[in-house]
Amino acid sequence: DIRMTQSPSTLSASVGDRVTITCRASQSISSWLAWYQQKPGKAPKLLIYKASILESGVPSRFSGSGSGTEFTLTISSLQPDDFATYYCQQYSGYSTFGQGTKVEIK
Amino acid sequence: QLRLQESGPGLVKPSETLSLTCTVSGGSITSSSYYWGWIRQPPEKGLEWIGSIYYSGTTHYTPSLESRVTISVDTSKNQFSLRLSSVTAADTAVYYCARFLMSYGSGSYSPAQVDYWGQGTLVTVSS
């Protein structure tokens, strides 16, 4: 299996902050990576796919970058609605998820 | 608007088989552009990809569950189903059904990112 490791596990930030979450793959996955946002009691929501393509309707403050084994999700200016848990997913072969990064209010 | 709805027992006894069905409305399960499948999330934990199916019957399963999992499709009812045998407490989770877009690489198509999710259903394994 391809292991996905996210860092940090928890991130404390304030409204307006620039936030970066990292996802590392145990082997190269090219650009076959997606990012999701999940709020308590809800299904995840797709934010970005193929490492850097913004899903339709997702605010432009979200961006993704990377290829191979290292990827980042950046929120350029954190908004109140962005406090949530974020997951990366690789889909190069069998799909696996990272363990999640909780973005909490500082 | 596409909608996915899980249904099935919320409580399953250890060693028995977990069975869930996902009913798709607002779109056809026979669309050539998508896979359909299941993802689960144990309480207070992360997401685990279980497997997927194409309407023609082609399946992909995660290796750690492959010996216990069967995903099937019923195109006449616009439904697909999950069966997980020999369950234990470790299989207690919220189970989501999902629609996967497709990626193309190394000469074949495979399931990719999820663009539609069901609301999720909690299945508890307990005697």
What value does the mean pLDDT take over residues B101-108?
A: 84
Average pLDDT of chain A? 97
The verdict on a CB contact (< 8 Å) between A89 and B115 is: no
What are B110's two structure tokens? 């495979």
Residues of chain A neighbouring B114 (CB-CB closer than 8 A)? 34, 36, 44, 46, 89
Distance CA B52, CA B64 (A): 14
Kindly report, residue by residue over A45-63, the tens digit of the pLDDT: 999 999 999 999 999 999 9
A62-78 per-position pLDDT tens digit? 999 999 999 999 999 99
Task: Provide, as residue numbers in chain A, all residues whose Cβ is less than 8 Å from the Cβ of B60.
Answer: 94
State the smallest CA–CA distance between residue A76 and chain B in angstroms: 23
pLDDT at A90: 97
Task: pLDDT band for B36, please (50, 70, 90 cuts).
Answer: very high
Query: What percent of chain B has a predicted confidence (pLDDT) above 90?
Result: 91
Give the residue-averaged pLDDT of A9-22.
Answer: 98
Residue A93 has pLDDT above 80, yes or no: no
pLDDT of residue A86: 98
Q: Do A46 and B103 touch (CB under 8 A)?
A: no
Strand blocks (E) in chain B:
3-7, 11-12, 18-25, 34-41, 48-53, 59-61, 69-74, 79-84, 93-105, 108-117, 121-125
Rounded CA separation B114/B108 (Å): 18
Mutate to test the interface with B, among A95, A96, A97, A102 (most CBs of B within 10 A): A95
Give per-residue pLDDT as tens, B38-88.
999 999 999 999 999 999 999 999 999 999 999 999 999 999 999 999 999
Q: Is A95 on the interface with B (CB under 8 A)?
A: yes
pLDDT of residue A47: 98
